[in-house]
Amino acid sequence: MRERLPTVGRLAGTLAAGAFAIWLSYQLSPGDRSLYTLMGLYAIVAIGLSLLIGFAGQISLGQGAFYALGAYTAGILTVGVDPDDRLVNPDAGIDPALAVLAAPVLTGLVAAVIGVPLLRLRGHYLAFATLALHLILLAVIFAQSRFTGGQDPGLAVIEPLEVFGWQITGVTGGTARHTAIVWGLVLVTLLLALNLVGSRPGRALQAIATSERTAAAAGVDVSAYKLRLFVLSAGLAGLAGALYVFMLQFLSPDAFGVFLSIQFVVMVAVGGLGSVYGAVAGAVAITWLEHELRELGTRPSLLGFDLPDQAPQVFSVGVFAVILIVVILFFPRGLLPALGDGLRRLRARV
Amino acid sequence: MRELLQLVVVGLSTGSAYALVGIGMVLIFRTTGIINFAQGSFAVLGGLFMVELVDGLPRLLAGALSVLVVGFIGSLVGFVAVGFRRRTTPLASLIITLGIALLIASLNLLAFGDRPHTYPTFFERAWDIGGVLVQPQYVLVAGVTALAALLLTLGLQKTIAGQALVACADSRRAAELVGIDVRAVAVIAFAVSAGLCALGWVLLTPVDPVNYDSDVRIAISGFAAAAFGGLASIRLAYLGGLTLGVAQQLVVGYADEIPGLGQQGRQYELAAALVIMLVLIAWRSRHEVHE
Amino acid sequence: MNAAPLLEIDSLVVKYGPAVAVDGVSLSVEAGERVALIGPNGAGKTSLLNGVCGLVKPTAGRVRLDGRDLTGRVAGDVVRAGLTQVPEGRQVFPTLPVEANLLLGAYGREFRHELVSATLRYLRRRGAIAERLQRVYTLMPKLYELRERPAGRTSGGEQQMVAIGRALMAEPRLLAIDELSLGLAPLVVKSLSEFLVRLNEDEGVAVLLVEQNAVLALELCPRAYVLEAGRLVLSGASDELERNETVRSAYLGGGLDVSLEDLGADAEPST
């Protein structure tokens, strides 16, 4: 676990970067802004996952499921739980702001339920179980389409998000304000995570990360901490998902494929296993990369070669995979830590 | 009753193919300590290669070739995941196998497109066994996979190569001390494991078509089978696979009688595997304390 | 007069990440010698062995066996050069029968790397390996009795014999033993010790005994090194070390291990 207590300098730097990120929300064109918002949402998820992997040593391949669960919870609660009621009654659901708050609670609960038995076992049980969770969730969304909207027609959530009269999203989806709030949340999450690392529970977590046996011998309740981390990471993912709903005002399972869960792991792995800053950097980089690759794939031809129909997927997934393999092979602790080491070595030489 | 019997036969057959995937996972896990997420990919490759080759070549040759090629691919995967650099940690290896699974899936998409692939079954007619219609392909799968599992178990016990493999699984340290090249053994474990997965789907594809993204569900089912034996026992993994296959078929077969599932039986075939696995894991963790 | 020692360790440094386990240790073992390495738990004894036997790559220093530089080579190379280790805690292969355990001991000596060519070579060398197996059975008849039993189902002392037998199958010139007495009853340790002495004197196999039980180590081996916190603090003839005050108080304890002879030799008034 690589995080150290942030020095005053680092803290100031982080706040400055956060302020910049929030300011940037207002400067981008709507097209760029939606990608930027997505980066922010994914960064929140990645921070949670990074804590889980870095401290508990458990890999969750289901953060995408918690993200989706959060999204659908918020969406369904907003439009109304009863599918028949929805069609006739515009006031069927609850206040969107409440729905957004309910989402992380629900995802946290689900995580608690499956986490209790799973976290006692070795990491790969959780990995598969969370992957399984994602698939089950997708199956449920598809199968219970009357309730969830399924793939077609999907779930339209046209109510705007507002908090105490302060409007956050418009009828047509994300506004700059929404993006700013998302990035504000990224900053808050980052600070909370850093604070967690430096605090007393943080030291317990460090002990666990170093050696579970030693920590247990020292009286640390390893299972309880792991469970808390898992629930926290699930809650963060759920919150991000809930906010996502109001960006597009529309939900369909297409946005929540299994690949998403894998992408989150890639973000954390590339950014730096256990590095919270790395998680944010990884989220930004990977989201951007995936977007670019997908765009590249939609072009009819590249460098003189005709691209097949499936090119967008092949490009984004395939190239992605290669990058992941290469990075992990040569930088097993992630890029950011490797960069950090490199800089340190340079500085030592100077 | 007839339908039940049919479901059981199909379940035993698909289950034994999953069992091979699970056995492969146990093999890899015990010799290297990592879980291979690309297990499903090996199975899919086996099926896809067979579909391509069976057109021009005699069936036995096509099947054998597919298994061998996938076995070779497996050794490459093993090399990258474990054998390549000494610094690769188990966590990193896990992520690498995940990446490899993704890579193979996207290559499959590129090469074979997004549609289920299959080839005609070996047998023209279904067999009539006591009034029950049984598709012989299922019996073939069950029989061949049982034989493969048996041969593997014998090989591990009786040959020096097999014993060296078991030695690595028993005590990596002592195996290294004795002079066994543990990384080479890991690569071979991958190759054998890949061959086993391919074997299952080389034969199963006529009744269970594969698509480029089938690897996820196969890997999960394989893991469920392996989890049955705590990732340690080949025999239990085999049993687990059979149990899983039968349970899945029963869920699909009687889905309309289970409240709340509706007509979506097929959708829940995978979910059945997953729920079983989760329940199994929860049950196991009653006894186990984290290592 | 001095032929080069069989095993020469020169300023060896072994680190695990930033932690230094072995901090510049130099020692040597002559052909046919019995040498002990004693020291408290965590002194770096096992790390030293790991560095010598190829499980860990040393950060600095040299390891030479019979003049050949083995520094940083993999375990297989070290085994082939003539140095085998009986690891701490025996580490037999529990699910394999005793005989398979022994045969695998010859593996590293006979086969270079991967299993395919290894299998072929094994078939060709079956005769030589069978001969060696017979010799081990002659040395340790109990193992012949147990040959079909899964090694995990034998007693601690028997497992120790299996581990030693396995190490002997590689026909080593030097046998390094890590914690011979760990978890074994005194009587068992006694008979194992006697066996080791016979092995050393009759077969000429040099022994490097790494032990926490200093009394045993100094009794068995005429020469010893003392390792503390990764550094060599003392070395010399065992009987001299036994009389050394620091050694006595730190490692030879009081009461329990003092024999009648000791009391007799110390009969001077000590006020």
**Does residue C143 belong to any structural domain of this protein?**
yes
Three-state SS for chain C is: CCCCCCEEEEEEEEEECCEEEEEEEEEEECCCCEEEEECCCCCCHHHHHHHHHCCCCCCEEEEEECCEECCCCCHHHHHHHCEEEECCCCCCCCCCEHHHHHHHHHHHHHCCCCHHHHHHHHHHCHHHHHHHHHHHHHHCHHHHHCCCCEHHHCCHHHHHHHHHHHHHCCCCCEEEEECCCCCCCHHHHHHHHHHHHHHHHHHCCEEEEEECCHHHHHHHCCEEEEEECCEEEEEEEHHHHHHCHHHHHHHHCCHHHCCHHHHHHCCCCCC
**Does residue B127 belong to any structural domain of this protein?**
no
Domain count of the fold of chain A: 1
Of A230, A262, A238, nearest in space to A55 by CA: A230
pLDDT tens, residue by residue, B85-142 = 666 666 777 788 889 999 999 888 888 888 888 888 777 777 777 667 778 888 888 8
Of A169, A149, A151, nearest in space to A159 by CA: A169
Question: Is the predicted pLDDT of residue C271 greater than 60, yes or no?
Answer: no
Distance CA C50, CA C76 (A): 13
**Does residue A124 belong to any structural domain of this protein?**
yes
Q: Which of A120, A122, A128 sits opposite B223 (nearest CB)?
A: A128
pLDDT tens, residue by residue, A300-325 = 666 656 666 666 667 778 888 888 88
**Does residue C259 belong to any structural domain of this protein?**
no
Evaluate whether A314 touches B109 at the Cβ level (below 8 Å). yes
**Does residue B47 belong to any structural domain of this protein?**
yes
How many CB pairs (< 8 A) connect B and C? 92
Distance CA C37, CA C48 (A): 10
Domain count of the fold of chain C: 1
Question: Is the predicted pLDDT of residue C121 greater than 80, yes or no?
Answer: no
Higher-pLDDT residue of A149, B39 = B39
Domain boundaries, position C17: 7-254
Joined tokens for residue A15: 């706040």
Question: Is the predicted pLDDT of residue C70 greater than 80, yes or no?
Answer: yes
Report pLDDT for C212. 85
What CATH number is attached to the domain comprising B243? 1.10.3470
Question: Is the predicted pLDDT of residue B228 greater than 50, yes or no?
Answer: yes
Question: Is the predicted pLDDT of residue B77 greater than 80, yes or no?
Answer: yes
CA C27 to chain B, closest CA, distance in angstroms equals 21
Nearest CA in chain A to B112: A310
Q: Which of C84, C94, C104 sits opposite B164 (nearest CB)?
A: C104
List the 132-191 stretch of B: residues with Cβ below 8 A of A. Answer: none
**Does residue B170 belong to any structural domain of this protein?**
yes
Distance CA C74, CA C56 (A): 8
Given an 8 Å threshold on Cβ–Cβ distance, is C75 in contact with B179?
yes
Q: How confident is the model at residue B73 (pLDDT cuts 50, 70, 90)?
A: very high
pLDDT tens, residue by residue, A223-248 = 788 888 899 999 999 999 998 988 88
Evaluate whether B47 touches B15 at the Cβ level (below 8 Å). no
A neighbours by CB contacts (3+ pairs under 8 Å): B
Domain count of the fold of chain B: 1
Domain boundaries, position B104: 2-117+132-284
Q: Which residues of A touch B264 (CB under 8 A)?
A: 142-143
Q: What is the pTM of this model?
A: 0.82
Higher-pLDDT residue of A289, C271 = A289
**Does residue C262 belong to any structural domain of this protein?**
no
What CATH number is attached to the domain comprising C162? 3.40.50.300
Mutation target vs C (from B26, B87, B177, B234; most C CBs, 10 A cutoff): B177
Q: Which residues of A touch B107 (CB under 8 A)?
A: 314, 318
Q: Please state at what angle helix A258-271 crosses helix A320-330, rounded to 10 degrees.
A: 30
Beta-strand runs (E) in chain A: 155-156, 162-163, 166-167, 250-251, 301-302, 305-306
Distance CA A39, CA A22 (A): 13
Residue count of chain C = 271
DSSP-derived letter for residue B204 is H
Domain boundaries, position A86: 8-257
Q: Which of B190-194, C58-62, C84-88, C138-142 reaches the highest mean pLDDT?
A: B190-194
**Does residue C84 belong to any structural domain of this protein?**
yes
Evaluate whether A238 touches A99 at the Cβ level (below 8 Å). no
**Does residue B125 belong to any structural domain of this protein?**
no
Question: Is the predicted pLDDT of residue B290 greater than 60, yes or no?
Answer: no
Distance CA B180, CA B202 (A): 33
Distance CA B170, CA B149 (A): 20
**Does residue B137 belong to any structural domain of this protein?**
yes
Report pLDDT for A239. 94
**Does residue B171 belong to any structural domain of this protein?**
yes
**Does residue B265 belong to any structural domain of this protein?**
yes
What sign results for the dihedral spanned by CA atoms A122, A127, A130, A131? Answer: negative
pLDDT tens, residue by residue, C247-261 = 777 777 643 444 444
Distance CA A64, CA A221 (A): 28
